[in-house]
Amino acid sequence: MMEYRRLGKSGLKISALSLGSWVTFGKQVQTEDAKILLKTAYDAGVNFFDNAEGYEAGKSEKIMGEAIKNLGLSRDTFAVSSKVFWGGTQKMQLGLSAKHVRDSCDLALKRLQVEYLDLYYCHRPDIDTPIEETVRAMHNLILQGKIIYWGTSEWSAQQITQAHAVAQAHGLTPPAMEQPQYNLLHRGKVESEFLPLYENYGLGTTIWSPLASGILTGKYNDGVPSDSRLNLPDYEWLKELWSNEEGKQKLEKVRELTKLSKELGISMTHLSISWCLKNPNVSTVILGASRLNQLEDNLKSLDVIDKLTPDVMVKIEAIIDNKPAGPERFGQ
């Protein structure tokens, strides 16, 4: 059964597992398949669908919009997102200027065929645009009824804190959520850097890449399958991440985790996703699937959380050996 969590301190309750479209929609998945994936997720209790203008140059949003329309989903039963930064190749189509923030939102609404975005993210920080300009642009979109919540993706704690300070100083709406990468092999921001933000601002997190682009499924333990994401055109950079020495060391840890998952009688995929869900500061884990059987299997991760007992979590920690340092307390 699906679990629902508040998006940080907001009143929005989103499904603990959500469906994203990075790499899949518009590349591996077209409209009819997207429709099947969305319906399967929705019927399983998923109520948040994640997207961005930069995913396949807007094609991902078009496919998701068509699928949602064809399914006839009631707008008051699901949340959909977009992200602004990479809108095209022209200078005004990039970054977080007030103009691009507004233009990107308007285009996303058309592509997704919705009247408003529930969540709207700054896809990356923009060092060429004052944070006040971006915060004010997001606040204005909220006043116009075009978005409900705004947030960030891959911002630092310092940048998010600055956005809150600007919002407080000028009576503007602060960011409600952050979308960071988080998985067994990538933990620093969520478990250490952001700790003060959960307490001070009630930050929500919609984490991406729980399976580290498939690495944490164990399917790359003995090489790269020809039909996998790591062999897709334009994603050579992803393959290179796991081909260097650091990547090879991480793969060895995955092999050890795979042995543990077999001892527990669960798949490596379920272990990896449910491990993310064990963190109470995770609002939702965004799943990415190109095939129906992948999605159906990923959704079953909720059923195995109880198998990650405190003793098992200690064993996992011993294998990955990458727990980030917490705040240091001096003089005690």
Residues classed as catalytic? 55
Strands 4-6 and 13-15: antiparallel
Q: How many CB atoms lie within 10 A of CB 226?
A: 7
CB 51 within 8 Å of CB 82: yes
DSSP string for residues in 77-137: G-EEEEEESB--SSGGGBS--HHHHHHHHHHHHHHHT-S-EEEEEESS--TTS-HHHHHHH
Identify the three-state secondary structure at position 22: coil
Residue whose structure tokens are 């990107």: 104
Six token digits for residue 240? 């290179």
CB 236 within 8 Å of CB 180: no
Helices (H), the chain: 31-43, 59-71, 98-112, 131-143, 157-170, 188, 195-201, 236-241, 245-264, 268-277, 292-299, 310-320
| Residue 192 DSSP symbol | I
**Residues with Cβ within 8 Å of residue 263, at least 6 apart in sequence:** none
The dihedral built from the CA positions of residue 219, 224, 228 and 230, taken in this order, carries a sign that is positive
Q: At 255, which amino acid appears?
A: R
